[in-house]
Amino acid sequence: MRAFLSVTILLFTLIVVGCKSQGIDAPEAVVINGKVIYGPDGSPLRQTVIKRVSDGKTFLTDTLGNFHIETQTGDSLRFSYVGTIDKTLPILKNDTLITVELEPDIPGNDEYVYNNKYFGIFENRDDGSTLVISRTENGYNVSIKLFRLTEINDGFGKLKGGKLVFTGTDASGNPISGYITVSGDTAKLVFTDSTWEYLPDGTTYTFDRKHDVGSDFQKCYSTVDGMSMRIVSPEPIKNPIDSLIVEFTNSRNIDLTTGEWYRIDIQSTKGNWIQAPYSGKYLELKAKGTEVCFNDIGYVVRSDGMFKMTVKPWIYDFSDKSATYRLVKTFHYPPYPIQKSDTVYVEFQIR
């Protein structure tokens, strides 16, 4: 009997201890209240994507960068925001109040990146002088013809500080340098290191981009230099317009983001810009209480990179073929979420 009781007590003790150990090892529910901030300046990051690794469910921070998530110890949360480096954090028992810093994602500079806005033929329409810029290995070919003055056919340039800095040979066979900036369809050429008396330092020329004969008229400009936009399809643009494929080029040293929002303007007879009239189809929908909404989503245009997106402008009326229209897009850049922005325009006509 004593032996039986001893064995019974031992088994009971093992069961209790085993159950207790199992209870300690089991994941515990944790409610996390946290905030996501931008590392360099501590500003809150709104609409940061947070993924709960265990089940893949995603959450978003609010306008102040705050979040509230129920999870378990041993799980992990992955934080992602445009233009920053993703971060994954394991969840511990005492992680009930956390602050997550996301650092900027700066692209490497180990590979030469071209900026397409510089490529092309530019001309001075007053005297016929030309500026031709093309691609070469790790740089740009620069050819300059100045009316009744000189030709520089051996220019080589590289991007430095937002400018295309070049070096060539003047008419006397001496080195000559300068820089080129391009804003929209206008190129500005400035000579900076010249020994030739006919081209002293500071001599400046302005050129306009030359478009192929018969191609659609397009003129691009922005509120701040560094972003350009062009319509790559269809060509030519004809009514009715099903869609426009738009290409953006970012020449800044930071990534920019853009969303789905756009607007179409029309130039009035007085020369000012007003919003284009809505199409009959959209007016019918508005009369029934239906409005067009744009998804709140961000697309990244990398530094010194390009990005294409499709715009379907069916809500506007393009029946006036004699008019000039323009597509309007906005861009945002860090530090987020202060929402510093730039607006870029591209003009076009209906053929």
Tens-binned pLDDT, residue by residue, of the chain (351 aa): 555 445 454 444 444 444 444 444 567 888 999 999 887 777 888 888 899 998 988 898 888 889 999 998 888 999 988 667 888 888 887 667 889 988 876 544 434 567 778 888 899 878 889 999 988 877 899 999 998 899 999 999 998 877 899 999 988 888 999 999 988 789 999 999 998 888 999 999 999 887 543 344 677 777 777 788 889 888 888 888 999 999 988 888 888 888 899 999 998 877 788 999 999 999 999 888 888 888 878 888 888 788 899 999 999 999 888 888 999 998 887 766 555 778 889 988 887
For 297, the domain range is 218-349
Residue 325 · residue 350 · CB < 8 Å? yes
Whether 11 maps to a domain, the answer reads no
Q: Which of 209, 229, 263 is the last residue of a domain?
A: 209
Q: Which residue has the tokens 């607007």?
A: 263
Whether 126 maps to a domain, the answer reads yes
The most distant pair of C-alpha atoms in the chain lies apart, rounded to whole Å, by: 123
Whether 77 maps to a domain, the answer reads yes
User: DSSP 3-state assignment of 18?
Assistant: helix
Whether residues 224 and 326 fall in one domain: yes
Residue 280 · residue 316 · CB < 8 Å? no
Residue 342 · residue 223 · CB < 8 Å? yes
In the chain, how many domains are there?
3
User: DSSP 3-state assignment of 296?
Assistant: coil
Return the CATH number at 98: 2.60.40.10
Q: Which residues of 220-232 are buried (b: 16+ CB within 10 A; e: fewer)?
A: bbbeeebbbbbbe
For residue 335, the tally of other CB atoms under 10 A from its CB is 17
Whether 107 maps to a domain, the answer reads no
The alpha carbon dihedral of 305, 309, 315, 317 has a sign of: positive
What is the structure's pLDDT at 173?
86
Whether residues 196 and 276 fall in one domain: no
What is the structure's pLDDT at 311?
93
Cα–Cα separations (whole angstroms), residue 206 to 19, 139, 185, 189: 83, 22, 11, 6
Residue 253: is it exposed, middle or buried by C-beta count within 10 angstroms (0-12/13-18/19+)? middle
C-alpha–C-alpha distance, residues 261 and 263, integer Å: 7
Structure tokens at 347: 């003009």
Whether residues 93 and 133 fall in one domain: no
